């Protein structure tokens, strides 16, 4: 259903802060050509936190229409208020998306009991597939394997994006969840090891910049060609790490502009553009990946 290299797509913006819809269309076309297996729209990398919901509906609707079923499109529907998450899900459900990526509630730091109830209510607001999203470094809470296992009993909760980077966590999830429960890495740097351990793919930041390489990496890993996959992954490790030298997606937008794939690396406040001191390390990572001379 959802596997391989799925890009957590950035949202191109104009220097005045408006959405660059032409740039968005060009990025989506490029990903379709480069072999990206799916698109996540309005996740963390898309700057969903500073894009209002009316804009989000417009952006997701445009992408769905453009993709027209060629690859799955997942919509971010996360909120730290359960009622808002349910409301967003019901509105997004009207679009021809293929499923949802639902992040753990952020900032208010609910207990496992609260997260369980949150996801139960959000999943009940749609019949479409829901992927859980666990990213403690961003949200301040960790969705534990025992809670995931309980949520996995809900028919339309079909998998998780696990972004702790822990391979022990992968094993714990495999031990507790059904064999058909999708396990997707949310950490590019460990995604190869995650797939080698039985994961089904990655929801990737690196794929914004190197989509063909990430698609090939996943293809190799998911067909057991791990030696070839490692050779490719070694070239991408610089990007895996340096695209997080500042908060995501600051470095990614700079890299995309450097590669002339977007016109502007503008981000809405409180996110700011990449500090000049970090330009060189991103350049080096791009060269290591074979993306620049």
User: In this predicted structure, what is the pLDDT of residue 96?
Assistant: 98
DSSP E strands in 107-200: the ranges are 130-134, 157-162, 182-185
Tens of pLDDT, residue by residue over 189-206, are 999 999 999 999 999 999
User: In this predicted structure, what is the pLDDT of residue 1?
Assistant: 83
User: In this predicted structure, what is the pLDDT of residue 243?
Assistant: 98
> Binding residue per annotation — 45?
yes
Distance CA 14, CA 16 (A): 5
- Confidence band, pLDDT 50/70/90 cuts, at residue 242: very high
User: Among 6, 45, 69, 19, which residue's Cα sits nearest to residue 203?
Assistant: 6
Exposed/middle/buried for 277, CB within 10 Å: 0-12, 13-18, 19+?
A: exposed
Contacts with 144 (C-beta within 8 Å, 6 or more apart), sequence order? 112
Query: How is domain 4-223 classified at the architecture level of CATH?
Result: Alpha-Beta Barrel (3.20)
Q: Locate the domains of the chain by residue range.
A: 4-223
| Six token digits for residue 33 | 């050509």
Give mean pLDDT, residues 1-5. Answer: 95
Active site residues: 133, 161
| Six token digits for residue 209 | 């910049």
Tens of pLDDT, residue by residue over 219-235, are 999 999 999 999 999 99
193-231 burial, b at 16+ Cβ within 10 Å, e below that, comes to bbbbeebbbbbbbbbbbbbbbbbbbbbbbbeeeeeebee
User: In this predicted structure, what is the pLDDT of residue 293?
Assistant: 86
> What are the helix and strand counts (H, E) for the chain?
12, 8
> Binding residue per annotation — 19?
no
The C-alpha angle 247, 252, 253, rounded to 5 degrees, equals 105
- Confidence band, pLDDT 50/70/90 cuts, at residue 49: very high
Contacts with 155 (C-beta within 8 Å, 6 or more apart), sequence order? none
Distance CA 63, CA 121 (A): 27
């Amino acid at each position: 259903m959802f596997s391989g290299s799925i890009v957590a797509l950035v949202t191109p913006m104009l220097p005045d802060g408006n959405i660059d819809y032409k740039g968005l269309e060009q990025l989506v076309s490029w990903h379709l050509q480069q072999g990206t297996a799916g698109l996540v729209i309005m996740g963390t990398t898309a700057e969903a936190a500073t894009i209002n919901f009316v804009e989000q509906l417009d952006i997701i609707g445009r992408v769905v229409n453009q993709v027209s079923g060629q690859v799955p499109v997942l919509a971010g529907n996360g909120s730290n208020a359960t009622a808002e998450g349910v409301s967003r899900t019901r509105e997004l459900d009207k679009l021809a998306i293929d499923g949802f990526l639902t992040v753990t509630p952020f900032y208010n730091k609910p207990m496992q009991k609260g997260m369980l109830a949150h996801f139960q209510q959000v999943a009940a607001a749609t019949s479409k597939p829901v992927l859980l999203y666990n990213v403690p470094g961003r949200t301040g809470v960790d969705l534990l394997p025992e809670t995931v296992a309980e949520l996995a009993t809900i028919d339309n909760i079909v998998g998780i994006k696990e972004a702790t980077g822990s391979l022990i966590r992968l094993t714990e999830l495999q031990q507790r969840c059904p064999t058909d429960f999708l396990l997707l890495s949310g950490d590019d740097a460990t995604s190869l090891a995650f797939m080698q351990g039985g994961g089904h793919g990655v929801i990737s930041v690196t794929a914004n910049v190197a989509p063909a390489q990430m698609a090939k990496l996943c293809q190799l890993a998911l067909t057991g060609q791990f030696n070839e996959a490692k050779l490719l992954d070694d070239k991408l490790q610089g990007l895996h790490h340096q695209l997080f030298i500042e908060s995501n997606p600051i470095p990614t937008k700079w890299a995309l502009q450097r590669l002339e794939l977007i016109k502007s690396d503008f981000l809405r406040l409180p996110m700011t553009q990449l500090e000049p001191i970090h330009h060189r390390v991103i350049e080096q990572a791009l060269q290591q990946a074979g993306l620049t001379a």
